[in-house]
Amino acid sequence: MTVSEEYAELLEYSRNEILNVCERRKNEGLFDVLFAFVLSESGEMYSGKAFESSQPQFGFCAERHAINQMQYEETEKSEIKSMLIAGPVPKGSDHVVMPCGACRHAVNEFGNEETDIICTNFIRTEENWNLFEEMERFNPNQLYPEAYEPVEWE
């Protein structure tokens, strides 16, 4: 995937955030986790990290965390211009990390038909991390083609 100048800033922001958080986690003996980054229509960027708990129902995904940060800093009417989702994969893997069904619904609800979702991965090496070797771009309709729409009762 070629990256336009429009996404260069999102990629650079995401790269720096991932490296900073992963380095801290590595120093504490923790595993790498999934990250999501939102560029809102206002031009602001927001970060999200998967929250994992011993009680699965308390956890939430990085995508919804980043969307919530956008809504917290702006409003619930804010829209996603683009989103980058990056997850750790084993060395030699060529697949990108995709959002779960709940996150696909959230991106569909708070994005629009022009929203770009960039799915990618990163690999921890002994010295560092290899970031964004594989990237695929989607729009909300490609990820969630039969989107749920609430019914208006008359």
pTM of the prediction? 0.89
Q: What is the pLDDT of residues 100-150, one digit of tens each?
A: 999 999 999 999 999 999 999 998 887 888 889 889 999 999 999 988 877
Number of domains in the chain: 1
- Comparing CA positions, the residue from 5, 20, 13 lying closest to residue 84 is 13
Q: Is residue 148 part of a domain?
A: no
Q: What CATH number is attached to the domain comprising 75?
A: 3.40.140.10
Q: What is the pLDDT of residues 71-111, one digit of tens each?
A: 999 999 999 999 999 999 887 777 899 999 999 999 999 99
* Domain of residue 30, residue span: 5-143
Q: Is residue 22 part of a domain?
A: yes
Q: Is residue 152 part of a domain?
A: no
Q: 69: number of CA atoms within 13 Å, CB side?
A: 19
User: How far does the chain reach from its first CA to its final CA, in angstroms?
Assistant: 46
Q: Is residue 150 part of a domain?
A: no
